[in-house]
Amino acid sequence: MSQIPENMEPEETSADSVEVEQLANDDTVADAADSPAVEDSGGENNPDGDEKVTFALDGDDTSTPEADIARLEAELASSHDKLLRAVAETENVRRRAQRDKEDTARYAVSNFSRDLLSVVDNLRRALDSVDAETRKENPALENLMIGVEMTERELLTAFERNNIRRMETIGQKFDPNFHEAMFEYDDPDQPAKTIGQEIEAGYMLHDRALRPAKVGITKGGPKSDAAGQDEAPVAPEEPADSSAGSTAYDPRSGAPGEQFDEEL
Amino acid sequence: MSKVIGIDLGTTNSCMAIMDGQDAKVIENAEGARTTPSMVAFSDGDERIVGQPAKRQAVTNPENTLFAI
């Protein structure tokens, strides 16, 4: 071929400067200034029928219409792709914000009510501390205990109104999502991993465990596969508004409602 | 533009966050907590339990509960 400059390497970055040299040195075919692929550039006479690499006729620096169309179509395709992604992103953000808002409203009371649970515990302990006979002997004490009972009942009613319910635990199969095992003890009569003792009551808020119940579970009995199917009737499930907005990191939205019994 | 999620897989607890525009936002888990204990347990039915439930049943299943790795 005609003279090829020594520093000529088929890379893109120095292509322009090389082309300038080329034009200066050699008036044969030169690349278009905006050609994307320049492996063949420099000193070669490329036919203008080459479609992969854009070459200019006569060495001027405007590219052919076909080249323009191809380039613009590629840009259009990539812009369209970006647009679709941006729209999907916006939709995801909107959906996530909506779900966050709903969750916040639904579980807004959880921190406050979790602190109030210890109040309920203490009222129950106060009531249990005095036995029935002592109450009968002392009318003033009896009145006081009646007052404490009414207070406890009112607090539990307020909880009910806010969808906070106490868990039924004794006799149920142990479920780590709602119960916290404190110890195991031998009881061959019950199926293994049944809750035998309740140390501290658990409470549910809607379908989440507000506070897990602290329980003692049995071991040494027969294994049971049917989890709670022959137990007392299960509570009706919460309307599936939580599952409508659930995404990949909330897979169990339907299951928890089956496991606890509602005291009516 | 793909979503980036950052996971702090700590010895005792783990935490996850995503980039929400310019801010990092911590994601709550299914129980509503912002951190999750780094524990995994395998229960009788070949069920795999992770996080807070795994911690709650650790007493009853010590051979198959893993933590502090």
Please answer whether residues A178 and A144 qualify as being in contact, where contact means their C-beta atoms are separated by less than 8 angstroms: no
Give phi and psi for B25, each to the nearest 5: -125, 125
A–B interface: beta-carbon pairs under 8 A = 43
Distance from CA of A152 to the nearest CA of B (A): 28
What average pLDDT does this structure show over A175-180? 91
| Cross-chain residue pair A107–B32, CB shorter than 8 Å | yes
Which amino acid is it at B11?
T
Is residue B51 scored above 90 in pLDDT?
yes
B20 Rama class: left (phi>0) / alpha (psi -120 to 50) / beta: beta
Cβ distance B30 to A219 less than 8 Å, yes or no, reads no
Burial A135-158 (b: 16+ CB within 10 A, else e): beeeeeeeeebeeeeeebeeebee
Across chain A, what does the average pLDDT equal? 73
User: How far B58 CA lies from chain A's nearest CA (Å)?
Assistant: 8
pLDDT(A148) > 60: yes
- Asked whether residue A192 carries a pLDDT value surpassing 80, the answer given is yes
- Helices of type H across A190-250: 241-244
- CA–CA min distance A235, chain B (Å): 20
In chain B, residues with a C-beta closer than 8 Å to the C-beta of A103 are 32
Mutate to test the interface with B, among A193, A195, A242 (most CBs of B within 10 A): A193
Q: Strand pairing partners for A186?
A: A219
Buried residues in A246-257 as b, exposed as e (16+ CB within 10 A): beeebeebeebb
Torsion angle (degrees, nearest 10) of CA A132, A136, A141, A147: 70
Compute the distance between CA of residue A186 and CA of residue A263 in angstroms, rounded to an integer: 29
Percent of all residues in chain A with a pLDDT value above 90, rounded to a whole number: 30
pLDDT band of residue A3 (cuts 50, 70, 90) is low
ipTM: 0.81
Contacts of A262 (CB under 8 A, 6+ apart): A165, A168, A235, A236
Residue B6 has what pLDDT? 93
Q: What 3-state DSSP class applies to A170? A: coil
Task: Return the SS3 of A112.
Answer: helix
What six digits make up the tokens of B54? 């795994």
Mean per-residue pLDDT, B26-38: 89
Q: Is the dihedral of CA A224, A226, A232, A234 positive or negative?
A: positive
First to last CA, chain B: 34
Q: Which pLDDT value is given to residue A133?
A: 86
- Poorest-pLDDT segment among A22-31, A180-189, B19-28: A22-31
For residue A209, give both structure tokens: 């465990």
Q: Is the pLDDT assigned to residue A51 strictly greater than 80?
A: no
Across residues A75-92, what is the average pLDDT? 94
List CB contacts (< 8 A) between B27 and chain A: 249
Q: What percent of chain B has pLDDT over 90?
A: 54
pLDDT (tens digit per residue) in A216-261: 999 887 876 544 444 333 444 444 444 444 444 444 444 444 444 4
pLDDT band, residue A101 (cuts 50/70/90): very high
- Least confidently predicted of A137-151, A178-192, A225-239: A225-239
Q: How remote is the C-alpha of A222 from its chain's centroid?
A: 37
pLDDT for A40: 45
pLDDT band at A182 (very low <50, low <70, confident <90, very high): very high
Strands A164-166 and B13-20: unpaired
Helix, strand, coil percent values for chain B (each to nearest 5): 15, 45, 40
Name, in order, each residue with C-beta under 8 angstroms of A52's C-beta and a sequence gap of 6 or more.
A37
Chain A residues touching residue B32 (CB < 8 angstroms): 103, 107, 110, 208
Is residue A213 classed as helix, strand or coil in its secondary structure? strand
pLDDT at A110: 87
HSE, side-chain direction, 13 A CA sphere, residue A197: 11
Comparing CA positions, the residue from A176, A181, A210 lying closest to residue A196 is A181
Hey, which residues 2-61 in chain A have their CB within 8 Å of chain B?
none
Cβ atoms of A19 and A29 within 8 Å: the answer is: no
Model-level pTM greater than 0.90?
Answer: no
Answer whether A89 sits within 8 Å of B49, measured CB to CB.
no
| Residue A244 three-state SS | helix
> Under an 8 A CB cutoff, do B56 and A85 touch?
no
Please determine, for residue A80, whether its predicted confidence score (pLDDT) is greater than 90: yes
Tokens 């200066």 belong to which residue?
A24
Q: What is the pLDDT of residue A245?
A: 40
Task: Test A179 with B56 for CB contact under 8 angstroms.
Answer: yes
Is pLDDT larger for residue A180 or for residue A250?
A180
CATH number, span A165-223: 2.30.22.10
Over residues B19-33, the mean pLDDT reads: 85
- Please indicate if any CB of chain B lies within 8 Å of the CB of A179: yes
Q: Are the Cβ atoms of B56 and A180 closer than 8 angstroms?
A: yes
Higher pLDDT, A56 or A245: A56
Q: Does A209 touch chain B (CB under 8 A)?
A: yes
Q: Looking at the partner chain, which of B27, B30, B57 has a beta carbon nearest the beta carbon of A181?
A: B57
